[in-house]
Structure 1
Amino acid sequence: MGEVDVDCEDARFEPEKDREEEVFSCPNCGSTDFVENSAKAELICRDCGTVVDENRVEESASPRAFSAEERKKKARTGSPITYTKAGKGIRTSIGKGGEMRGVAPNKRGQYYRMKKWQNRIGESKDKKMQTALREIGRLVDVLNLPQTVKEEASRLYEKAIENDLIKGRRIERVSAALVYIVARNQRIPRTMKEVADESGVDKRKLGQTYRYIAKELELGIKPVKPEDFLPRFSEELGISGETQAQARKYILDARKENLLAGRSPGSIVAAAIYLASEKRGEKVTQTAIADTVGVTEVTVRKGYRDLMEGLEIEDEE
């Protein structure tokens, strides 16, 4: 059997998950003798020259330092990678602090020219991205969402730019659509009306944008379940845990009886909360529920009657 010719660019080494028992071997010649190229973060086979690992990341613990001099010598430079900052937070800036004091007088002209061109390139490349990241961060804060939503929405925005999906669309609309998608997929959804109101985007256009972005980026959109909204609305209304559990049971029973088809999650959760509070003697007004959930009082009453009838719950009055 002849030798298999493996192209260096296609040879990729996958380290084992258990790092304590890692055994490196070249996929081309089987050698275990390697040299590490620190400049390019590559691991190269000494025998055949195959790059068996690249983009290596230093995972050892940071060195300890007990004085200012030791911290200066042992410190690792650079901030952690994050998609919530333009350039992933690792771009080098020229001209920060008192750097000019350390520049020789005959080099200062060159220094200023480098700084000027870096600023021009940065402004043209990152201006829209910075605006989008600020909008995403603002929406995450006002909608009371965790930082995981901000990080993922920021990553998807950068991916949307790479796929040329932003052209011709307002930054606010795309940012709102991504926040809506990520929150929904992380099972901490916000209603489309909430996102539209906070972002100042028309609800219909927001719906068009999020469906377009999800399709082009091949994002699987998880269906919104009424029970996902229940804890938040229950807390805002101040109802007890027992009433919340009863409302959840009504929603699950209604799903078994196929009573949820064609209804919005907000209308279902509003009706279930009102029905559970009535049955447990916690007087929560229809107006309070409607204002909290973002539906009308008519919707609350109609959903309440439909649940009573569909689940065959007797009226105690």
Structure 2
Amino acid sequence: MTDSRIQTRSGQRRSGEREEASESTDEREQCPECGGRLRSDSEHAETVCQDCGLVVEEGEIDRGPEWRAFDAAEKDEKSRVGAPTTNMMHDQGLSTNIGWQDKDAYGRSLSSRQRQKMQRLRTWNERFRTRDSKERNLKQALGEIDRMASALGLPENVRETASVIYRRALEEDLLPGRSIEGVATSALYAAARQAGTPRSLDEISAVSRVGKDEIARTYRYVIRELGLEVQPADPESYVPRFASELELSDETERRARSLLQTAKEEGVHSGKSPVGLAAAAVYAAALLTNEKVTQNDVSEVASISEVTIRNRYHELLEAEGSPVI
């Protein structure tokens, strides 16, 4: 008899809790002002009333993916966690890394035994990430590409393209007899020219660990064997960088572009170094717009001799019909 009373009371208590929960749920689903139905606006991260438009909650957490998919196939392809894959890492960024800080999740320092254990784990993790000579080669080369691109101020798309070119060279067995640094530098030089942000051989060799002659020789070999389509460097592509480093005005930059366009129409640019033409155009434009820039300043920025600048800027002014200053 006593057991039946206890069961009855517990059942009544549970039903009462369910009624309270349902009432609280109904309250959350109803507008506190007009009693209308609420809906969640994921685009603005808000909960609003459909009838009166009252914003009940705002700043909600978006639990959806950080990417957009427009069909089922694209959604399956992008279904992932973690950082996106990249060709700039030898394992495409799919492996794990063990942090170098000897601290636990709460920021406390590890004991000496735990530090030794973590160091052994880092060592074995590094060994497993580069299991053969090909992966070690790729890791070293991609590190070189990233270092040189950072020194030259090249954007991420150039680094990605250079990494792809080096991977192709490695897959097609173009490296025997050539240094890793030489092929990596050639890949970066080709990628920069393909992306329309070229760097001169002097600039490339200044940050590379190989000489200028080896870079040029390896570059010709790589683009020939891989069939890369690399257009001749346009002198105008150097002008913005030179003008920015010399702190020249937009008017001077436009004038330099105009000089180069006239030189192309007259055929003066044929057989001339694009870097030399760009530097001479910047110097000539600065003279025409009354900005104080010396040949030595332009020579240091462009990494070419003052003699080249003098010869080329005379030719550019003569092609345009302007008096030689």
Residues 1:282 and 2:281 are matched in the alignment: no
Once the two structures are superposed, the pairs formed by residues 1-317 of structure 1 within 5 Å of their partners are 19-20=70-71, 57-59=76-78, 77=81, 79-91=83-95, 119=128, 122-315=131-324
* Structure 2 unpaired stretches of 5+: 1-68, 105-120
The structural deviation recorded for 1:200 is: 3.0
Query: Considering only aligned residues, what root-mean-square deviation do their CA atoms show, in Å?
Result: 2.9
Decide which structure has the larger Cα Rg and report it: 2
Letter in 2 for 1:293: A
Cα distance change on mapping 1:304 and 1:121 into 2, 3 Å: closer
CA distance in 2, matches of 1:144, 1:19: 35
Cα distance change on mapping 1:56 and 1:122 into 2, 3 Å: farther
The structural deviation recorded for 1:116 is: 9.1
Q: What TM-score results when the alignment is normalised by the length of structure 1?
A: 0.68
CA distance in 1, matches of 2:289, 2:75: 60
**2:314·2:324 contact (CA, 8 Å) conserved in 1?**
no
**2:90·2:139 contact (CA, 8 Å) conserved in 1?**
yes
Residue 64 (structure 1) aligns with: none
Residue 26 (structure 1) aligns with: none
Cα distance change on mapping 1:57 and 1:125 into 2, 3 Å: farther
Q: What TM-score results when the alignment is normalised by the length of structure 2?
A: 0.66
* Structure 1 unpaired stretches of 5+: 1-17, 23-52, 61-75, 99-111
CA distance in 2, matches of 1:282, 1:174: 41
Aligned length: 236
- % of aligned pairs identical? 36
Letter in 2 for 1:285: T
The structural deviation recorded for 1:141 is: 0.1
Cα distance change on mapping 1:241 and 1:192 into 2, 3 Å: same
Q: What per-residue deviation string (whole Å, max 9, x for no partner) do you get for residues 204-234 of structure 1?
A: 2211111111111111012101000000000
